[in-house]
Amino acid sequence: MATIRFKALEALMSRQVFSVDTPSKKTSEYFGENVFDQKKMRVYLSREAYDTVIDAIENGTRIPRRVADQVSSGMKAWSIDKGVTHYTHWFHPLTGTTAEKHDAFFEPAGNDGVIESFDGARLVQQEPDASSFPSGGLRNTFEARGYTAWDPSSPAFIFDKTLCIPTIFVAYTGEALDYKTPLLKTLSVLNDAAVDVCQYFDKNVSKVQVMLGWEQEYFLVDTALYIARPDLMLTGRTLMGHASAKDQQLEDHYFGTIPSRVSAFMRDFEIEAYKLGIPIKTRHNEVAPNQFECAPVFEEANLAVDHNMLLMDLMKKVSRRHNFKVLFHEKPFKGVNGSGKHNNWSLATNTGVNLLSPGKNPKSNMQFLVFIINTIKAVQEHADLLRASIVSAGNEHRLGAAEAPPSIISVFIGSYLTKLLNELETRVTDEKMTPDEKTEIKLDIGRIPELLLDNTDRNRTSPFAFTGNRFEFRAVGSNENCASPMTFLSLAVAEQLKQFKVEVDTKIEDGIKKDEAIFQVIKNYIKASKNILFDGNGYGEEWAKEAEIRGLTNVKSTVKALESLVSVKSKDLCVKHGIFSEREMEARHDIRVSHYTKKIQIESRVMGDLATNHIIPTVYKYQNQLIENVRGLKQVLDSKDFEQIAGIQLQTIKEISGRIALIKIKVKNMVEARKKANAVEDIHEKARLYAEEVKPYQSEIRYHIDHLEMVVDNEIWPLPKYRELLFAR
Ligand code: ADP
Ligand code: MG
């Protein structure tokens, strides 16, 4: 009987490239057709309602109930015109995925049968029975009410014939239960702080927005192979599998020709994405075989976060049509590249200026430097919190694994800026500067080239890199909601900008001219934040050593890194700006820690099951074959020949028996370790035990299984092998 693995391979061989119905229209003609955007609002809303919504989007003003009624009926009319039957509030609970609960538009209407109905009250607020979402104890099940509230700054859209309304999700006591609430609050804090600083340079700036361009990496695996791998199905990654003889060592996959089955899938989800207004621009093969990337044009951060979550859902959905499974796990395969989600972050003003882009004159360049230096300082101040924002059970396998940014947070700014900052530091004096000195400094600053894209040494090993007109936060994992890193990064920068303004204003009050005050504060910041700047190889051992000397933290353990979510420093930061209460932060910490524990628990169970039900029985079969063979040899050979020939076979039998015994013992010990951890009440201690006592068994057990894979008859090996998972398509 063929194993499930061979059935899967057979299925794969009969796959055909799914033909995609490419719209005959140009992309621009159908882009956003499933979004209730400004164009549709103009058609479906009254002038008053339209203006009110635009004002709410642009300035965060409240939408009165009367107007909400108009908007809801406009949305309803538009979506019913498009064949929509249901609506839902769409939100980002702390599960890490998106949530929706659909309601039909129709309402019984007495003698008239049913009518389609959707009023302002239902648009603005819903009360999903949300008792099963993680709340970290913020919401007891007996007071399970949480509510979702409309976020007009992200437009409603149609997904699967359902009108989806982006919302935030909070407990009835007001505590945030989602990713979006703190993000929206932070964006507003940063706006205020950045506008204030911009006022030193340009009085016309009244709004500063965070821009985010994410790069989504993922793997594709054929559905049949995926189903034959219970570890992939249940944990998102392979818990075992010997390296393929060939994987990425020839460096032939990155930017290679996209296989036609894959490009059909890409084309298909891109078309759907365009209809949803997601501006996917770039697609290419990534470093590992069967690994790919897509990236949109950057957008305002809140919208970009929604678009990323929506695209991940969309990719999962569309992949079914192509018999693919999309893997968003940070490290689905050992030994080849993992997947990240670079978060390209910048600040844009209402006057059309990118504050992280050098300008055309000394004044705008000065502004550019102020924002660059404050960002560096913010990252230095809150490096631990930034790390905490991106660690997870999945990302743990990726960070620091000589392919992804290390768990040391540092900043790369390239040789040009490094030199410039060094010069500034030495030139600016704390005493009153002569007009000549000032002119010289301004001349230096005026010379910053408009295009700083330092392509020659774009450092791929840095977790946080300046890439010419934006910072790239590269440590973010492929499966993460960008809202978390975007919140903490933006908040750290907001706090830093506020501090900057206080320091500059104090100097101005002391009679120092504005320019000079700015120079002096900047100089101090350059000095103070030097230790976080690093342009070298972040993967090297030397860097770990040097970072230690510099006093930078290097936290490899997820559980340990998460502690920074509730450090005094982090709490001060978040509470001060009204982003979280202490209780909310503790709740979030608890949720992340428990999530980690559960992930390791599931992995460890799957490991035990696979070892016991898949691997060991298969190995016994093979062992029996060998034993049978030895018996046969004994019959046909004389004793001298037998000893020589069967000796090698007996060695194999012994090796196999030894490994089986070790696997069995280790699985048993792993179960014991789990029991011990499970008995612990305190969730933090439990997580520590899972990380330190349970998790290590995974690689120990795997080690023997992977060796057995190399010995046992290929015909009976039950799990699709790495070469099949990585190359078959
Ligand atoms: P690379 O892989 O070379 O870093 P990609 O083209 O894959 O570049 O992705 C770059 C991402 O950065 C895109 O999403 C792009 O829109 C985004 N980006 C470019 N400029 C900015 C900016 N000023 N602010 C934020 N994101 C930006
Ligand atoms: Mg890229």
Interval 243-247 mean pLDDT:
90
Q: Do residues 256 and 285 lie in contact, with contact meaning Cβ atoms separated by under 8 Å?
A: yes
Confidence of residue 456 (pLDDT cuts 50, 70, 90): very low
The answer on 708 and 635 residing in a single domain is: yes
Report the CATH number that the domain containing residue 433 is assigned in CATH.
3.30.590.10
Determine, yes or no, domain membership for 16.
no
Q: Which atom of ligand 1 is nearest to the CA of 297?
A: 16
Determine, yes or no, domain membership for 488.
yes
Mean per-residue pLDDT over the chain, rounded: 92
Q: What is the dihedral of CA 559, 680, 179, 473, to 10 degrees?
A: 10
- Assigned token pair, 579: 């982003």
Q: Point out which residues pair with 159 in neighbouring strands.
A: 162
Q: How far apart (Å, rounded) are the C-alpha atoms in residues 307 and 36?
A: 14
Residue type, 360: K
Query: Is the per-residue pLDDT at 256 higher than 90?
Result: no
For residue 476, the CA-to-ligand 1 centroid distance in Å is 15
Q: How far apart (Å, rounded) are the C-alpha atoms in residues 668 and 721?
A: 26
Task: Give the number of whichever ligand sits closest to the CA of residue 298.
Answer: 1
Of 586 and 248, which is predicted with more confidence?
A: 586
> Which tens digit of pLDDT belongs to each residue from 74-111?
999 999 999 999 999 999 998 888 988 888 888 888 87
Interval 235-240 mean pLDDT:
98
3-state secondary structure of 264: helix
> Which tens digit of pLDDT belongs to each residue from 148-190?
999 999 999 999 899 999 999 998 888 899 999 999 999 999 9
Q: Quick one: pLDDT at residue 24?
A: 84
Provide residues with CB under 6 Å of ligand 1. Answer: 211, 213, 215, 282, 295-298, 344, 346, 354, 469-470
User: How distant, in Å, are the alpha carbons of 20, 598, 637, 649 from that of 645?
Assistant: 58, 50, 9, 7
Determine, yes or no, domain membership for 588.
no
The protein residue with its alpha carbon nearest to ligand 1, atom 17, reads 213
The answer on 488 and 369 residing in a single domain is: yes
Domain boundary among 126, 152, 178: 178
Q: How far apart (Å, rounded) are the C-alpha atoms in residues 574 and 223?
A: 43
Determine, yes or no, domain membership for 524.
yes
Q: Return residues with CB closer than 5 A to ligand 2 (ion).
A: 215
The protein residue with its alpha carbon nearest to ligand 1, atom 14, reads 213
How many domains, the chain? Answer: 3
Query: Is the per-residue pLDDT at 304 higher than 90?
Result: yes
User: Where in the sequence is the domain holding 326, given as residue range(s)?
Assistant: 187-580
Report the half-sphere exposure of 418 (CA within 13 A, side-chain side). Answer: 16
The answer on 710 and 606 residing in a single domain is: yes
Determine, yes or no, domain membership for 550.
yes
Determine, yes or no, domain membership for 658.
yes
The answer on 326 and 448 residing in a single domain is: yes
Confidence of residue 64 (pLDDT cuts 50, 70, 90): very high
Mutate to test the pocket of ligand 1, among 208, 303, 344, 356 (most ligand atoms within 8 A of CB): 344
The answer on 351 and 414 residing in a single domain is: yes
The answer on 414 and 475 residing in a single domain is: yes
Q: Which residue from 465, 448, 449, 453 is spatially nearest to 536, judged by alpha carbons?
A: 465
Window from 285-289, 304-308, 437-441, 497-501 with minimum mean pLDDT:
437-441
Of 404 and 521, which is predicted with more confidence?
A: 521
The answer on 551 and 485 residing in a single domain is: yes
User: How distant, in Å, are the alpha carbons of 45, 66, 424, 447 from that of 369?
Assistant: 44, 46, 11, 12
Domain boundary among 534, 551, 580: 580
Window from 6-10, 129-133, 263-267, 426-430 with minimum mean pLDDT:
129-133
Determine, yes or no, domain membership for 263.
yes
The answer on 390 and 263 residing in a single domain is: yes
Confidence of residue 631 (pLDDT cuts 50, 70, 90): very high
The answer on 136 and 253 residing in a single domain is: no
The answer on 614 and 708 residing in a single domain is: yes
Report the CATH number that the domain containing residue 708 is assigned in CATH.
1.20.120.1560
Q: Which residue from 591, 560, 580, 588 is spatially nearest to 683, judged by alpha carbons?
A: 591
Report the CATH number that the domain containing residue 145 is assigned in CATH.
3.10.20.70
Domain boundary among 535, 554, 580: 580
Q: Quick one: pLDDT at residue 144?
A: 62
The answer on 465 and 357 residing in a single domain is: yes
Percentage of the chain lying above the pLDDT 90 cut: 74
Query: Is the per-residue pLDDT at 112 higher than 70?
Result: yes
For residue 346, the CA-to-ligand 1 centroid distance in Å is 10
The answer on 546 and 641 residing in a single domain is: no
Q: What is the dihedral of CA 663, 669, 675, 677, to 10 degrees?
A: -110
Determine, yes or no, domain membership for 11.
no
Q: What is the pTM of this model?
A: 0.95
